[in-house]
Structure 1
Amino acid sequence: MLADLTGGAPTEALALIADFDARLVSGLGRLSDDGAAAVTALAAAVSATPLGEAAADAAAKVAAGSVSADDLAILAGARSAVLGAVHDALLERADAALGRTRTPWSAASVVGDAPRNLLDGCVSWLRELAITGWRGVDHDVISSGGQVLEAMLAEPRLRRLAVLIDGLAAELRASAPIATMDDLPARRWADLWARGMVLCRSSGSVGPGETVSGRLLPLGVEVQEHATAVQVRVHGLLEVRGEAAPRLVRTSVAVAKVDTIVGPAVWRLFDGYPALIAAVTESRAVTVSDLVLRESGDLLWADDRAQVGEPADPFVSARLGLAGAVAPPVPPLDRHPVAIGEPVLVEGYTVVDDGLELGGVRLAFDLERLPTLGPLTPALVTGSSACIGLLRWDDAVWTLQPLAVQTTVKRKPVTVLGGEWASGPTDPKVAKAVKAAGDAVAVLRERASRLLRK
């Protein structure tokens, strides 16, 4: 399987993206001959698609020095389309190697009714960034979008776009003065810019999904943590009543936090989800009733419709269910190579230089994604013999993000889960350290309660 998976990368398409991204570094306001060629080449890459004629026209105008918001939106769409094609090719290769069946995408988007003036204001700021170029962005350019961003954050219908734009602005602000930076995250900033442009033009949302009931078997927990927010995403197998094959699903819960709450103390913020926390901590199946399942495989969690049941070892669930599980389709706007995260089980490997080797083929562990609030450490991963993880593709290589491992500790075989400390650290030393540091969550809640009473 690994030999089939780790073939050649789509280097030609990625080179087109890199050339275009380099123009965003210097700015699209005054393109050199090489810059005009890069923009034209991007448009040519989508010439056989419905976007082809519009992309060619937009590239010609931008190359001539006319940089309108409409033309930039089309070029952003062309860039997203090329990366979407790369995503589809990589995911098709992964599905073939895994023998995985995937449901085709069929949901139609529901046109939203977001305020057009706010979307136009956001597009205007993104246009200014593109014309100026990352090297020319200063505090004045960054702050010029502050008023519209504040209004977007207060508009629930624009929350997805507003959070993305807020993140881009925060990264630019933290990096200023950008002109003096040695190495720019050009691909990342271009991704955020292009996604923002596309979302401004496509403000619709995916349809309502279906209502399902059945048994959820958790496979592992992925934690995405920032200074002011944290999200826990549980990947699992959903046995839907009346269906023979289980479905691959994920369910996420998120909470706001402050940057002083770190490590295992973060789990205290999720005490409003006792059933989900018990399931991932104790490795138990969960019976769910009437939950909404998006076509993308996202199960909208409601703790009052979940009942924790019998023990369900993730490795047993993976061995029995992963091979025949049906994978969900990927929504069009989410088709990007870095968004790939396929649950897999790998066993019987040897560890070589922070990666696993199986059948003469090597796959690197993505140790940078290990959460700081669980027991899963690089040492445990590199000493493991079996791993449940997410197959990812980043920086032109496949990697494995560990969610759970089977390893040996003090000559005894053990299973270590990333979400094992959701109900509190099981390691006495860590529990003692957390207790000594004090309960930051309780203190902050008590102070917030005082302010509300006043």
Structure 2
Amino acid sequence: MDAPPQGVEEALEVVAGFDEALTHGFARLAGDQLRDLAGALAGTPIGQRAAEAAEKIAAGSIAEEHLTALAGGRAALLGAVHDALLSQLDTAMGRRRAEHTAGDGASEAAAGCRSWLAELAITGWKGVDHDLVSASAQPIEALLSGQGTRRLAVLLDGLAAELSASCPVATMERLPRRRWADLWSRALLLSQGGWPEPVVEEVSGTLLILGVDVQEHGTAVQVQVHGVLDERLVRTSVTVAKVDTIVGLAVWPLLSGYPKLVRALAEQRAVEVKDLPLLGGGDLVWHEDRATLKDPVDPFVTARVALAGAVAPAVPPLERHPVRIAEPVLVEGDLSGYNFDRLTASGPITEDVLKGASACVGLMRWDGGQWTLQPLAVRKGKKQPHNAELALSPKAAKAGDAVTVLKERAGRLLRK
């Protein structure tokens, strides 16, 4: 795994060229980047449509169908990169993976938002201003009121909020090209409709927790728990809103609505679950009232005994992207050769803690052209610090005092 699979670097260069074109706007380019994308897809089922779209846009004829073809091509190319990397990782670990199964029913089409997405592509990120962002309000409002379009509405609302906060984009020193292009292409594909609904089954059993990934954003925090349930790798997530001043240990008191989950994480307990919905991609939908805390279980024992034989979930089509890869692994012995990344400020694992550690339960990720290891728990001597170790500590409670103050101030403002 020292080098990526053949073709990965070349494919990402093509994607980077497309993203650069999207940065400046399709109305301001000669079309070379789009032809490169189409060329990379030659011989595939969408190759001809991508080639036609690239030529039409290069000639100045930009239609929604052409943009959709290229967005689909970009997603397919990143999906191929994802599959190659995941196959490399599964082979190295001897990990089995379930086959993807499409669900019944299909998502609804949403034509109203496609004109705004087309305008973004024509203008380019550097041309985005408040007027262009505000044009998204009406189609997003219509999507939010729909029955089967909320997923797309939330995605577009998030993109619009990021663009608004960045306006005027032309003055930004560094643009998140890959991220915005990901959101744009995903939204355009979702707006076509016809995507199968996820397969859902209800599962019961003992959830053995491996660790938790704490993901902080300026306005939200999510804890994503990785574990093993009946020889299947699963993950479950809960998300709460916050403000950008609440960071680090102060995020744990925000999760007071999930006392069982937080206690299970802090005390490394097993959890007996009953009739929890499990989506085809391996996501458990958490319900506090369907969970019962059991005895503590060492995550390193869980990783050594249960992780090796666990079956990994299939990856749904739209989720096939390198950034999504986060595979639980157990690493023992000399850890000096690993690239550690994404240390959380809400836990005790630091670079100093990692020095001299003899074992790590973590997530293998692929970022910046290389494999990285995100620690969830480490063993150093007799100590085993983990990301949720301080969740119920006095330090977290004290840091959470700021949350109480903010709630009181917000309450007074609302009463006024």
Change (3 A) 1:121 1:278: same
1:125 paired residue number = 116
Query: C-alpha separation between the residues in 1 aligned to 2:13 and 2:178?
Result: 11
Which structure dedicates a bigger proportion of its chain to strand?
1
Query: C-alpha separation between the residues in 2 aligned to 1:438 and 1:342?
Result: 31
**How far 1:208 sits from its partner (Å)?**
4.1
Query: C-alpha separation between the residues in 2 aligned to 1:178 and 1:271?
Result: 38
Deviation sequence 1:162-182 (CA, Å, 0-9, x none)? 332233223333333332444
2:22 paired residue number = 24
Query: C-alpha separation between the residues in 2 aligned to 1:382 and 1:200?
Result: 48
The AA in structure 2 aligned to 1:273 is Y
1:402 paired residue number = 375
1:13 pairs with 5, 11, 14, which one?
11
1:243 paired residue number = none
Change (3 A) 1:378 1:146: farther
1:167 pairs with 158, 162, 167, which one?
158
Tell me, yes or no, if structure 1 residue 322 matches structure 2 residue 293: no
Query: C-alpha separation between the residues in 2 aligned to 1:453 and 1:31?
Result: 54
1:197 pairs with 181, 184, 188, which one?
188
2:233 paired residue number = 248
Deviation sequence 1:277-305 (CA, Å, 0-9, x none)? 12111111111111111111101111111
* TM-score, length of structure 1 as denominator length: 0.85
Query: C-alpha separation between the residues in 1 aligned to 2:408 and 2:33?
Result: 57
1:392 pairs with 365, 370, 377, which one?
365
Deviation sequence 1:210-260 (CA, Å, 0-9, x none)? 111111000010111222221111000112xxxxxx110001111122334
Change (3 A) 1:272 1:238: same
Which has the larger displacement, 252-261 or 392-401? 252-261
**How far 1:269 sits from its partner (Å)?**
2.1
1:84 paired residue number = 79
Asked if 1 retains the 8 angstrom alpha-carbon contact of 2:125 and 2:169, the reply is yes
Query: C-alpha separation between the residues in 2 aligned to 1:28 and 1:6?
Result: 31
Deviation sequence 1:373-415 (CA, Å, 0-9, x none)? 222223212342211111001121111111111124xxxx200
Change (3 A) 1:22 1:109: farther
Query: C-alpha separation between the residues in 2 aligned to 1:86 and 1:260?
Result: 37
Asked if 2 retains the 8 angstrom alpha-carbon contact of 1:252 and 1:301, the reply is yes
Tell me, yes or no, if structure 1 residue 236 matches structure 2 residue 200: no
Which has the larger displacement, 123-132 or 138-147? 138-147
> Does the residue aligned with 1:111 lie in a helix, a strand or coil?
coil
Which has the larger displacement, 297-306 or 39-48? 39-48
1:137 paired residue number = 128
Query: C-alpha separation between the residues in 2 aligned to 1:271 and 1:317?
Result: 27
Change (3 A) 1:169 1:61: same
Which has the larger displacement, 123-132 or 143-152? 143-152
* 1:32-431 alignment runs, 5 A limit: 32=30, 36-108=31-103, 110-113=105-108, 119-153=110-144, 155=146, 157-202=148-193, 204=195, 206-239=197-230, 246-351=231-336, 357=337, 363-366=338-341, 369-408=342-381, 413-425=382-394, 430=395
Q: Which runs of 5+ in 1 are unaligned?
A: 240-245, 352-356, 358-362
The AA in structure 2 aligned to 1:165 is L
Query: C-alpha separation between the residues in 1 aligned to 2:413 and 2:364?
Result: 46
The AA in structure 1 aligned to 2:115 is S
**How far 1:370 sits from its partner (Å)?**
2.2
Alpha-carbon RMSD: 2.4
The AA in structure 2 aligned to 1:62 is I
Change (3 A) 1:20 1:124: same
Asked if 2 retains the 8 angstrom alpha-carbon contact of 1:370 and 1:402, the reply is yes
Query: C-alpha separation between the residues in 1 aligned to 2:347 and 2:146?
Result: 35
Deviation sequence 1:71-101 (CA, Å, 0-9, x none)? 1011100000011001001100000001000
**How far 1:155 sits from its partner (Å)?**
4.9
Tell me, yes or no, if structure 1 residue 442 matches structure 2 residue 415: no
* TM-score, length of structure 2 as denominator length: 0.92
Q: Which runs of 5+ in 2 are unaligned?
A: none
- Identity rate of aligned residues, in percent? 56
Asked if 1 retains the 8 angstrom alpha-carbon contact of 2:271 and 2:294, the reply is yes
**How far 1:62 sits from its partner (Å)?**
1.1
